[in-house]
Structure 1
Amino acid sequence: MDEVSSYAWIAWLVLILVFVTIEMLTLELTFLSLAIGSVGGLVSGLLGAPWWLQVLITAVIAIVLLAFVRPPLLRMLKRGGDPARSNVDALIGIEGTVVASVGENGGQVKLGNGETWTARLSPVTLPRVVAAGERVLVTAVDGATAVIVPAERIVE
């Protein structure tokens, strides 16, 4: 057992390097907490603590960091995020004009952002044909199809 304790610092260094490398790839602060806990194990080992105490110190530090330090840090990091919707989420609520009449078999609409999408009527509207040139509103996106309602159905 003395050999395990005398070479434990190598294992701690390897763990620290592995955890820091994984943290650099994930950026979730989980492996950073484990790496800092491993630093605690390394320091306690260099101060002469037995291997079981090194593991215990590592676990306690990592658990405290994961439970009490990581959540506020993540909130602080995400607080400055861009509130603008993007991708498909940005299409919800956008207005458009029917290019090819939208009926039972679908059709096409040109959205306010300039994109042309295949479209179908929302199930909340009465079945009918929406003629070319009519204004519509996107209520959802289903795959590559915009789900629309005619603009006259929009209650202001």
Structure 2
Amino acid sequence: MKHISLTLAACLVGTVALAGETAPKEVVYDEYGAVETSLSGVAGDAASGALLVGDKSKGNCVACHQVSALADVPFHGEIGPSLDGAADRWNEAELRGLVANAKKTFEGTMMPAFYKVDGYIRPGDAYTGKAGAEPLPPILTAQEIEDVVAFLATLKED
């Protein structure tokens, strides 16, 4: 009986944690593409966000952007603007909107929508050459978006 109670308690805690998360199709963007409220309901962790920004298999922001704070990560790109001073150029809501779906702010941008599940084509399913079936999972989770935003909010001009 004790095991069942603990399992039930763990399930309820997990449900409560997910209750604060905004699903990709439920994100509310303002007219300029900003997202005012947290997507996860939990504050972002800047250290985790820094790892995501430099992670070639996840966020991979450095493939297109330069980030001096991540000088130890090789091969920064020059396609997108430098992220140095991002916190001086954009507020938290604007950063969240840019990371979730930059096309809401900059229509013609090449930046991928990191929190979107349909309406575009991604590389083929398991290298089959066929486009994956929608809905696809978002590139980053709601909490990962918040972590990246927390990191970007630390990037101020010197």
TM range (shorter): under 0.3
Structure possessing the higher relative contact order (Cα contacts under 8 Å, 6 or more residues apart): 2
TM-score of the aligned structures, taking structure 2 as reference length: 0.26
Structure of larger gyration radius = 1
Structure with greater proportional strand content:
1
TM-score of the aligned structures, taking structure 1 as reference length: 0.26
Structure with greater proportional helix content:
1
